[in-house]
Amino acid sequence: MSSLSRELVFLILQFLEEEKFKETVHRLEQESGFYFNMRYFEEMVTNGEWDELEKYLSGFTKVDDNRYSMKIFFEIRKQKYLEALDKYVLDLLPFLYRRDRAKAVEILVKDLKVFAAFNEELFKEITQLLTLENFRDNEQLSKYGDTKSARSIMLGELKKLIEANPLFRDKLQFPTLKNSRLRTLINQSLNWQHQLCKNPRPNPDIKTLFVDHSCGQPNGARAPSPVTSSLMGGVPKSGGFPPITSHGPFQPTPAALPSTLSGWMANPSASAHPSASAGPLGLAPNNAEGSLGYNNIANDSRNVLLFERGNALLWVNQLGTAQRSYSLLDAAILKRPRTPPTNNPTIDYQTADSEHVLKRPRPFGLSDEVNLPINIMPMTYTSHNHGQNPYSSDDLPKNPVMALNQGSAVKSMDFHPVQQILLLVGTNMGDVMVWELGSRERIAWKNFKVWDLNARSRALQASLSNDYTASVNRVAWSPDGSLFGVAYSKHIMHIYSYNGGDDIRNHHEMDAHNGNVNDLAFAYPNKQLVVVTCGDDKTIRVWDAIVGTRLFNLVGHDAPVYSVCPHHKENIQFIFSTATDGKIKAWLYDNTGSRVDYDAPGHSSTTMAYSADGTRLFSCGTNKEGESHLVEWNETEGAVKRTYNGLAKHSVGVVKFDTTKNRFLAAGDEFMIKFWDMDNNNLLTSIDAEGGLPASPCIRFNKEGTLLAVSTNDNSIKILANSDGMRLLRSVESRTFDASRAASAAVVKAPAIGNFPPANATVGTSIDNQTAPAAPMVGMVGVAPPARNSDNRSLVDVKPKIQDESIEKSRIWKLTEINEPSQCRSLRLPDSLTAMRVSRLIFTNSGGAILALASNAVHKLWKWQRNDRNLTGKATASVLPQLWQPSSGILMTNDISDTNPEDAVPCFALSKNDSYVMSASGGKISLFNMMTFKTMTTFMAPPPAATFLAFHPQDNNIIAIGMEDSSIQIYNVRVDEVKTKLKGHQKRITGLAFSHSLNVLVSSGADSQIVELLSFISFGASDCLIIKFLVLELLSSHVFHLQLCVWSTDAWEKQASKFLQIPTGRAVSSLADTRVQFHLDQIHLLAVHETQIAIYEAPKLECLKQWFPRESSPITHATYSCDSQSIYVSFEDGSVGVLTASTLRLRCRINSTAYLPSNPSLRVYPLVIAAHPSEPDQFALGLTDGGIHVFEPLEPEGKWGTSPPVENGAGPSTASGAAGSEQAQRLRILARLSANLIILLLKANDVLLHSPSLEMIGEA
């Protein structure tokens, strides 16, 4: 619907409100979906009108539109359900009141069942409320008051969800209108009609609005109607058109029509639909009966002008059916010049780009000779003037600022439509990943995998059986960035949901086409999000992006379809498609065939794209001979409007292009990026991006045109930026520095307010043209976005200043030491139970509670309540939580069998929805309900005992269990069986971590290679002194190797293993724990050992960084912060270190004196450390004395110290460089000593020494 139609709805809403048509007002609000009346919504919630409430909401959103919508409907239906449970009805038999369970069951089955598919555990818990006499016995509902207060609390939550929901954007504010605006416009119209009267009366008597006003003749006769005036002789009164079917191209008749009609909506070739060629498109005889005249079509509200073609109009019904085509050659009254005349200042002529249906001039002071059809109101619409765009070539992103190592050839890229520093990339290996340009990190990654191969077509199964690889042909974000699609070279298309960070989830998998899926694009026809795809099977298909069903199958191309370009004009949604034979077609969203059929320049494989404002259409293609064509189309004529010069005569590969700022075109050609001004045929400029580009690189602008991504020869991506783009990236990168310094470094001089423009300033530009769109600021608070012209320094100008700032920072930086309680906020949690050593510690996923497992096998749960001091109800060091227990008073206590829990290895894992905890303390594994503390089940009695537990990230029923006997068991809780057993370690399992993007499981164990070596050595009295010397030398070096293994979660096979090297001279226990944890990007892996912190890259386990604490105190535990920017490390001396994760540099140390009382006789230190799931600067410690402390930085700083700048030369304490080579030499010497020791021992035991293998050992 056009903007004017939308505004008309608002005028009608105002009129209905003023006339007190209350029900009609809200009905129109719902059906139009333009304005969400929050006041009416509040009334319905307060009154409990649930059915009417959902009906009203349905005009704006559906349950499964997005997570906000789902939450809105869930809260409403949950409240409806709880009220039914709380309602009493009179039982006639005993004359007593009882609770109305029947109504609650009906709501559960009818309304709440839909949510089971998204959260089955939650649905089960809701169902269990039926078994309670009073649902307030459920701990989470214990605070539920009366109905009125519950509705009030829910209303506050709903309003927040609605305001955050992007579907309600721009729908919550009613436009500011003067009173009775619609009446005012009608009066203006009547006054205008009265001015057109031949003999206007001084005081006209207007009695109706149903017909046009006209003053009668002086003698009493009425003036002739303008519609039947002699000036309208060219317009037939009762004539019509030959019938035209709604199927295919409108077939012109060469003898009857001029050549100008064989353009946009005509097919010069033979018609593919014979029924469409029933007659010429000219005017039928005036006496033709049963047909429609021009005014009938134009005034039918269901019809909209889709295309203007030469001197013909094509009217299309909103349902997609072509009505009539009308020739204007004989309609003199409707003729208008292509070039507006300049000799009549009273008429505002419209250009062909106007999007409105009736492009009529607006008259001022019309004379008596002028007569217009009054039933078609003339309006003034602003024309598009492309010649006044203020951008210059300096605004192009031409400066290389970074390179991203992709690893495989880039096939397609797309910037996130909202978060413009996120880049989606697809490669020739089938990998799909999201890069965060501010940190230059790959934050999410999906490799090619068919989710459900058995459900796919036989053709795909056969193709994959021979070669289980596929290339990405296209990646694209949905308009709001919540979904993205991937088109593969083998049959299928994937749609993923994206929820920020690394949270990518499988949404839909479709057998889209037979063969290559060449392109995809999102569109939004009729308020329904769809995906349009095309493929080698010569078809275009339209899919419901939410449900995944196929809506339309568009057939008509004779060659593989190369690309698609959905668009809309007025409220008509259509699709352009191009095939490899150079044919271009246009389709409506139906199955009735193409409406346009014409040839691309050079019969090339062409991609089409609109300018950002949707007013100009461009295409670029390369044919089989290597000829490339970049053109702009004239939509009115259906012909090429402008051809751009500068492309190579013989391009290598298909040239790819993009548009930006409604002003520039860019294409990758001849190892360069070439730029054109849209209004100039000649090449504007070209750059090589400092070299390394392929012949036809893949390119992509971000939405604002401040960044440009381009593929390179070495499988990387270069990011180019203009001044705004560089400021945007610097503002994001500055998050790692101190907030105050980051703010000062990012300050840009803003233009003075109120300054007059220079004398030579261009006059007539709009406000929009004078200011550039503000670059989105990511992660910055309180820093205003820079103005476009505020800082025109080039990258060369900026570098010296940055270096100066870095040098200054390096002089003043020092490690932040916290020694006093007043220097941070810490809170020891209250505990009325027996205090025992804390073995395991975790925050709940909601962030509102902490769960601890003590060495006596008892769990403790602390919950923070929502109140005036803690509005969020999240964990905080400012408010005391409650040590929570259910009303039954039971404790969650693990089975200990016959083992001593002090000697056991405790472990637990929490389900994603915080409903269940799985735990073990040397005995059976127990599954507890977190709401009731009841034991749901126990399984796997020792031996061997479980030593580590981890839930599968995509299936709560699958658990990886690390065992004391070094095995890993993959256990299915639902069917109570071990799916498989993994063997690769030598000692007990100490750590497990899943990567849901790599589909791998990483395990760590207490393996010690030196222990295995000594296990077969026997010493006797006859051993010589040299043997003892070698043994002592080997033992003194303590070269332990702790093993990490990577397992595929598809086939549960070992993919890689690596030994964690322990530095020389460090004494470690033979069964030291090694813990593992994945970074948010699901690629980088944190390995924690008492001697070091190490970062690996999965799945190959390449060691990227190591950090060895200079202090002698061992590391007890470490964990990533929730944003993976920091690593919290606890030590046996009671201190805590905060490291910057990207550099492994210590930036803050919290000494034990800051939180522990001074007591030399009592040695207390942290055993475990846990990070808050949503607050990156909050963590908790579990201590040896049973205490738990929560830590937060003081408010003014807001974070734990600042990172040392790279320029000061302070590198991480890592075994690299000279230190690394020294250790490598040491290891080689020890290897030779080990081999010689073996030989000597075997010789002492009279073992034959002539074995070739032993000689090889000696040489090694």
Beta strands at 955-963 and 925-929: parallel, antiparallel or unpaired: unpaired
Contact at 8 Å (CB) between 606 and 563? Answer: yes
Task: Please give the pLDDT value at position 1119.
Answer: 96
- Clarify whether residues 501 and 621 are in a common domain: no
- DSSP conformation class of 122: H
- List pLDDT tens digits, range 144-159: 888 888 999 999 999 9
Residues 505 and 482: beta-carbon distance below 8 Å: no
Per-residue pLDDT at 98: 53
By C-alpha distance, which of 254, 228, 245, 247 is closest to 374? 228
pLDDT exceeds cutoff 60 at 1009: no
pLDDT (0 to 100) of residue 99: 59
Burial of 364 (0-12, 13-18, 19+ CB in 10 A): exposed
DSSP letter for each residue of 239-270: -------SSS-B---TTTS-GGGSSTTB--S-
Query: Is residue 46 left, alpha or beta, with left meaning phi > 0 and alpha meaning psi from -120 to 50?
Result: alpha
Q: Residue range 847-860: average pLDDT?
A: 94
Domain-located, residue 333: no
What own/partner pairs with CB < 8 Å and gap ≥ 24 does 206-212 have?
212/374, 212/375
Same domain, 892 and 1000: yes
What pLDDT does residue 841 have? 96
Side-chain-side CA neighbours of 1146 within 13 Å: the count stands at 22
Assigned domain for 792 exists = no
E-strand stretches of 1065-1135:
1074-1078, 1084-1089, 1092-1097, 1102-1107, 1115-1120, 1126-1131
> Pick from 126, 153, 173: which residue ends a domain?
173
Q: Which of these ranges, 37-41, 753-757, 904-908, has the smallest mean pLDDT? A: 753-757
Q: Which residue has the tokens 């090297």?
A: 1061
According to DSSP, the β-strands at 472-477 and 483-488 are antiparallel
Last residue of a domain, one of 684, 705, 733: 733
Cis peptide leading into residue 943 (ω within 30°):
yes
Q: Are residues 833 and 971 in the same domain?
A: yes
Q: Identify whether 10 is part of a domain.
A: no
Question: pLDDT tens digits for 928-952?
Answer: 999 899 998 899 988 899 999 999 9
Do 658 and 548 share a structural domain?
Answer: no
549 and 615: one domain?
no
The pLDDT assigned to 122 comes to 86
Give the pLDDT of residue 391.
59
Q: Which residues pair with 817 in a beta bridge?
A: 1149
Looking at per-residue confidence, does 731 or 963 come out higher?
963
- What percentage of the chain carries pLDDT values higher than 90? 36
Q: What is the mean pLDDT of residues 9-15?
A: 91
Query: Tell me, what CATH number does 501's domain have?
Result: 2.130.10.10
For residue range 675-716, what is the model confidence (pLDDT) as tens digits? 999 999 999 999 999 999 998 999 999 988 999 999 999 889
Does residue 607 share a domain with residue 538?
A: no
Number of domains in the chain: 4
State whether 495 and 620 are in the same domain: no
Q: What is the mean pLDDT of residues 711-732?
A: 88
Residue 101 has pLDDT above 90, yes or no: no
- Whether 604 and 552 share a structural domain: no
Q: What is the pLDDT of residue 1154?
A: 93
The dihedrals phi and psi of 1232, each to the nearest 5 degrees, come to -65, -40
| Residues 1095, 1187 within the same domain | yes
502 and 651 part of one domain: no
User: Quick one: tokens of 10?
Assistant: 């608002």
CA 491, CA 1011: separation in Å to the nearest integer?
53
Q: What average pLDDT does this structure show over 1174-1186?
A: 93
Structural domain includes residue 138: yes
Q: Report yes or no on 1155 lying in a domain.
A: yes
Within a domain: residue 1021? no
Q: Are 1116 and 1131 in contact (CB under 8 A)?
A: yes
Q: By residue range, what is the domain housing residue 1162?
A: 816-1011+1037-1192
Say whether 1129 sits in a helix, a strand or coil.
Answer: strand
**Cβ atoms of residues 1093 and 1115 within 8 Å:** yes
Strand 816-818 relative to strand 1145-1150, pairing:
parallel
- More confidently predicted of 563 and 1233: 563
Count Cα atoms within 13 angstroms, Cβ side, for 709: 29
Q: Average pLDDT for residues 912-938, to the nearest whole number?
A: 91
What is the mean pLDDT of the segment spanning 1016-1026?
42
- Round the average pLDDT of the chain to a whole number and report it: 75
- Does 161 fall in a domain? yes
- Beta carbons of 13 and 28 less than 8 angstroms apart: yes
Range 1151-1165 average pLDDT: 86
The pLDDT value recorded for residue 751 is: 35
Tokens of 681: 């045929």
Of 518 and 467, the structure prediction assigns the larger pLDDT to 518
Which of 1160, 1192, 1224 is the C-terminal boundary of a domain?
Answer: 1192
Helix/strand/coil (H/E/C) assignment for every residue in 179-240? CCHHHHHHHHHHHHHHHCCCCCCCCCCCCCCCCCCCCECCCCCECCCHHHCHHHCCCCCCCC
227 lies in some domain: no
The reply to whether 539 and 604 lie within a common domain is no
Q: Checking DSSP bridges between strand 907-910 and strand 656-660, what pairing results, if any?
A: unpaired
Query: DSSP alpha helices (H): ranges in 955-1006?
Result: none
- In percent, the amount of the chain with pLDDT more than 70 equals 70
pLDDT digits (tens, 9 = 90+) for 27-42: 999 999 999 999 999 9
Q: What is the pLDDT of residues 251-279, one digit of tens each?
A: 333 333 333 323 344 333 333 333 333 33
Q: Locate tokens 């003590």: which residue?
A: 854
Residues 490 and 617 in one domain: no
pLDDT for 227 equals: 36
Among 223-227, 236-240, 796-800, 862-866, the range with the most confident prediction by mean pLDDT is 862-866
What confidence tier does 852 reach under pLDDT thresholds 50, 70, 90?
very high
Specify the DSSP class assigned to residue 111.
I
Nearest to 161 by CA among 69, 227, 263: 69
Question: Per mean pLDDT, which range of 179-193, 346-360, 1089-1103 is the poorest?
Answer: 346-360
3-state SS assignment for residue 414: strand
pLDDT digit string (tens) for 1090-1141? 889 999 999 888 899 999 887 668 999 999 999 899 999 999 999 999 999 9
pLDDT tens-digit map of 386-444: 344 455 677 899 999 999 987 789 999 999 999 989 999 999 989 999 999 988 888 98
In which band, very low, low, confident or very high, does the pLDDT at 527 lie, cut at 50, 70 and 90? confident
Q: Which residues contact 493 (CB under 8 A, 6 or more apart)?
A: 485, 486, 487, 509, 510, 512, 517, 520, 531, 533, 543
